[in-house]
Structure 1
Amino acid sequence: MDTHIEPTRPTIEPTPHLRPHAHFTPDSTWMNDPNGLVFFGETYHLFFQNNPSGATWGNLSWGHATSTDLVTWIEQPVALWHTENEFIFSGSTVVDHDNTSGFAAPGQTALVAIYTSSYTSASPLHGRQAQSLAYSVDGGQSWTTHAGNPVLDRSSGEFRDPKVFWWGGGDGYWVMVAVEAVDRTVVLYSSPDLRSWTYLSKFGPSHAVAGVWECPDLFLLPVAGTDLHRWVLVVSLNPGGLAGGGGAQYFVGDFDGVTFTPERISETDDPTSFDWLDHGRDYYATVSFDNVPDNRRLMVGWANNWDYANEIPTAPWRSAMSLVREVDLVEDVDGRRRLRQRPVLPPEGLGVTVLDLTVPLTPGVVTEITVSTEDDADPWVLTVDGASRTITADRHECGNVDFHPLFASRDTARLVGDDDTVQLQVIVDASVIEVFAQGGLVTLTQQVFPRAPLTKPRVRTHQPST
């Protein structure tokens, strides 16, 4: 019988000033990867890895939140509960418009969640990770576990994080991208009905391989200003991220319904030559929404890092999501196609500081953007260096940095192109700061834990002494 434990609130001192306004946080529990992102019934659904019983990792289930504007989120009851036999690991949700799965009755439309069953010692499949289904016919309010689970089992202990989409129009099929995490490979399968799956191909290892691969996504994007479209494969890894700990990389290429082929493979193992979704310490497990109108591609990442995630000093919750980002591709003058990420911004008056700046990129000129408390304490500093053409976010002095030895950091991103100025958008939302440079071609996300809200920005441009 499926059993679960009702949530209890942590007893440590609450930190309400650190709760973001526009970045989703659970009310009183632990959260990690975003799961099952889907638009249905005029509502965006955000499912997420959740410990319903505490504020550290464990008892993994699917939490649930909804929004109509991608900024204001309402937490819903837990959607998929862990049991004594399995944890409910990451996955995706699709709208089964044509009822290929057969889960919907006449007049109904099924939402189908495809997730990883991580089997516990109480299960005959102990130690395995396999893919399972649950479905909802009431718009995501209640869920039924498929009696035939698991639907895809490779007898592996590291096979997880299925992202599913429809490929090929009316005569197409479902495609699943998942990972063999320790092998650093993405594996692809096809299915006519979400229940039976056939192996297609694999991709990897490639580029960043210092950690296990997780949370893949594969989708088609337009190339801005052209009639072209290209496929993008996203893979998170931990450790081995550019800034340390976890990170997310991407590959641009082609998908023919069977095999993904990248356009570019770096000729060096220098991680700065790879394509990264974000250059900060706190952006991981990024995946996109299914069924969004007008073919918009919207993504959300986990604004945290496994190096210190269980110990961040927030209560009664732990972890926030990033802002939703709309993405497309932009082609450089050298023909390299890069992902452009633009945030869905909160409205004025929500308590979020949004700075829009144009900063010189003159050799020998340095610009410092500082955001501090009203009494000039706990500064967070973003430095733009015209000589090195970099931005660096420094949180060493921004409030509580001593809770973990790996937290305090300076994270650097190299700007692209040769413009003589850089446009910056800096979004400060309590304990999460997101930086979008060059229209979103370069992004950088960090958590901060100041003793009071960061509300006082200052900008200083100078020539450093030699």
Structure 2
Amino acid sequence: MKKITRRLATLMLCGATLFTPAAWATSDGVEVNHLGVNNTLVRVTGNGNYLLFPVQEANDDARIHVLVDGNIVETIYVRLARSKTDYTVPYDLTPYKGKHVVFEIVTPQGRESLREAKEDACWKGLELVDALDTINREKYRPAFHHTPLYGWMNDPNGMFYKDGKWHLYYQCNPYGSKWQNMTWGHSVSSDLIHWEHKPNAIKPNGLGTVFSGSCAIDARNTAGFGKDAVVAMYTSAGTSQMQSLASSIDDGMTFDIYAGNPTLTLESEARDPNMFWNEKLGEWNLVLAHALDHEMLFFSSPDMKKWTWQGRFGKGIGAQDGVWECPDLFELPVAGSDETKWVLLCNINPGGPFGGSATQYFVGDFDGKTFKADTGKDGNIPTKWLDYGKDHYATVSWSDAPDNRRTVIGWMSNWQYAADVPTLQYRSANTLPREVGLFRGADGEVYASCTPSPELEGLRDKQIRKAEKANIGRKSCSYSLPAAYDGICEILFDIDARKSKVVAMTLSNEEGDKVVMKYDTERHTLSFDRRESGLVDFSENFPAVTVSPTFEDKGAISLRLFIDRSSIEVFGDGGRFVMTNLVFPRRPYSQLSFSSEGGNARLSNLKVYSLLND
């Protein structure tokens, strides 16, 4: 035995790695065991509520098996830091108090030796903490739009209203600010303005990660989960995509995964189930995106568990350049008539009118089996867009909203550059909530309108600017904007341009950043030019000009703008046209200027409100 011991000591002194002890304590309560150039065990030996993982976004994902008392409870993917730490992400240890927690990590970075692997920044940066520091460190984090506390966010999904609360679920990555580990995050609001962050609601399991879906209140207990249970249907995304159920009897705070999952499988890729109770038919209806086939599928069910295929819509119709995702289907009255129409929302990526992702929609009739879209005067089904900006996607509505409201919200970004925008602590925000309506245009077709939800007037602080009337000529007239709260504000005004060809409206600051909007009375369009809006060089797809039809023929429009730290939402003529665009000005826009080409125009009813930031 003594000879063997001496032999081991000799090997260690000579630098041999075969018998080198693997353990290396990095901080109080954390022990790192290197097993090879790409394989490491991290043991939690101390007390703490969260283990912080250092992240370097330029790296590939490391695979981390989380073992509790020797059993794998989940697998997560984290871009562990190699040469520097961009930020840290927390792993919640509180469910495993009193148990042995080990993280078995496989890193993708190639290493020449174990010595080199040990030098990765992540091992020295692991830290146990009792509380999370979520104080905003981002210059461009919105002041009055919903954002996650930290990490990545994309599609809103599963939204419902119950007992005075608006529940917003969303696709999130709890372990980084790029897409991965798809989980349902959860926030709740009583006014659609102030959001309270709740624990993540539905997490990945053996069937895969948790893609988008919907929630409905089962008032009749058709599924057997309990009267008024909140039932979620979502896509389990593992090797294949399949549809699963989860139920909640505590108003959506926690969900029990249905043991009979998956409830719906197909032989091809399909996702983002949107289900609703069809009162006329006395059954549940489901719209499912047949993503790669560029169509929507319709199903019916008496109990949310057994679904019968009924029909399909979309082959060769509308925008077809990208996958079809995130559907929604609902019935609305047409303003000024006794007529009702069904609206089918179809989010597409890529293939938007200005590149990347966008929300198209179809107006028509639905009988529970078949959706028949209205045609235009030429006999073809037109392609219509819910928003003519570049940053409005995955738009879906709240189920069971009060007063027959059809309230929607979208993801305020674009897949072309969502992972590259100049933020780190978090990525992406939601649009402002909007009320969808229907109106008949001058061409006789029915279109969707989107007006800011009425609760948003509660954001107003002070009216700091007012102008009853002003002439707009070739020489610009200017108005200062509020400096408080990084320049966030709401602006309303009317433009009468019957004697003008083009009216330009420019937002600018002292750095030379500017956004130029132009109302073209001959083309009946409003354009939005953000090519010089501030930081634009993080993606070649970001500098852009977007253009919206104004759906008017009188040479006059009314505009309502919401300006946040990194976004501008433009609502025209009571929501008949809308544009949502991200902007990253180096300093807040401090001035609004008007000028006219081809004749004079008239400005009236200008109002500028500073907005509350609390």
Whether the aligned pair in 2 keeps the contact of 1:6 and 1:52 (CA below 8 Å) is no
Match for residue 394 of structure 1? 529
Match for residue 179 of structure 1? 289
1:48-447 matches, within 5 Å, as 48-83=170-205, 85-104=207-226, 109-119=228-238, 126=239, 128-156=240-268, 158-169=269-280, 172-205=282-315, 206-264=317-375, 267=378, 274-344=383-453, 345-346=456-457, 347-349=459-461, 351=485, 352-362=488-498, 364-373=500-509, 375=510, 377-447=512-582
Sort the Cα spacing of 1:265 and 1:183 in 2 relative to 1 into closer, same or farther, 3 A: farther
Q: Secondary structure at the match of 1:82?
A: coil
**Residue 435 of structure 2 aligns to which amino acid in structure 1?**
E
Q: Secondary structure at the match of 1:3?
A: strand
Whether the aligned pair in 2 keeps the contact of 1:211 and 1:240 (CA below 8 Å) is yes
Match for residue 3 of structure 1? 74
Which has more radius of gyration?
A: 2
Query: 2:491, 2:596 → 1: CA distance?
Result: 16
The structural deviation recorded for 1:438 is 1.9
Higher relative contact order (CA 8 A, sep 6+): 1
Match for residue 123 of structure 1? none
The structural deviation recorded for 1:173 is 0.6
Deviations 1:111-136 (A, max 9, x none): 011000011xxxxxx2x111101111
Whether the aligned pair in 1 keeps the contact of 2:524 and 2:552 (CA below 8 Å) is no
The structural deviation recorded for 1:83 is 3.3
Whether the aligned pair in 1 keeps the contact of 2:392 and 2:410 (CA below 8 Å) is yes
Whether the aligned pair in 1 keeps the contact of 2:161 and 2:399 (CA below 8 Å) is yes
Most deviating of 421-430 and 7-16? 7-16
Q: Secondary structure at the match of 1:395?
A: strand
Runs of 5+ in structure 2 lacking a partner? 1-71, 89-134, 463-484, 600-614
**Residue 308 of structure 2 aligns to which amino acid in structure 1?**
T
Q: Secondary structure at the match of 2:439?
A: strand
Q: Secondary structure at the match of 1:219?
A: strand
Sort the Cα spacing of 1:315 and 1:363 in 2 relative to 1 into closer, same or farther, 3 A: farther
Most deviating of 257-266 and 244-253? 257-266
- How many equivalent residue pairs? 449
The structural deviation recorded for 1:383 is 1.4
The structural deviation recorded for 1:376 is 5.3
Most deviating of 132-141 and 14-23? 14-23
The structural deviation recorded for 1:14 is 7.1
Runs of 5+ in structure 1 lacking a partner? 120-125
Deviations 1:230-252 (A, max 9, x none): 10011011111111111111111
Whether the aligned pair in 2 keeps the contact of 1:431 and 1:449 (CA below 8 Å) is yes
Whether the aligned pair in 1 keeps the contact of 2:511 and 2:586 (CA below 8 Å) is no
Question: TM-score, normalised on structure 1?
Answer: 0.91
Deviations 1:287-308 (A, max 9, x none): 0110011111001111100011
Query: 2:404, 2:266 → 1: CA distance?
Result: 33
Whether the aligned pair in 2 keeps the contact of 1:10 and 1:55 (CA below 8 Å) is no
CA RMSD of aligned residues (A): 2.3
Whether the aligned pair in 2 keeps the contact of 1:5 and 1:52 (CA below 8 Å) is no
Q: Secondary structure at the match of 1:354?
A: strand
**Residue 321 of structure 1 aligns to which amino acid in structure 2?**
N
Deviations 1:147-195 (A, max 9, x none): 1111000132x200111101134x6110010111111110000111111
Query: 1:23, 1:277 → 2: CA distance?
Result: 19
The structural deviation recorded for 1:71 is 1.5
**Residue 3 of structure 1 aligns to which amino acid in structure 2?**
E
Deviations 1:378-409 (A, max 9, x none): 21221112232211111111111000111111
Q: Secondary structure at the match of 2:419?
A: helix
Query: 1:461, 1:360 → 2: CA distance?
Result: 11
Query: 1:52, 1:420 → 2: CA distance?
Result: 49
**Residue 70 of structure 1 aligns to which amino acid in structure 2?**
L
Sort the Cα spacing of 1:432 and 1:193 in 2 relative to 1 into closer, same or farther, 3 A: same
Structure 1 vs Structure 2: percent identity of aligned residues? 40
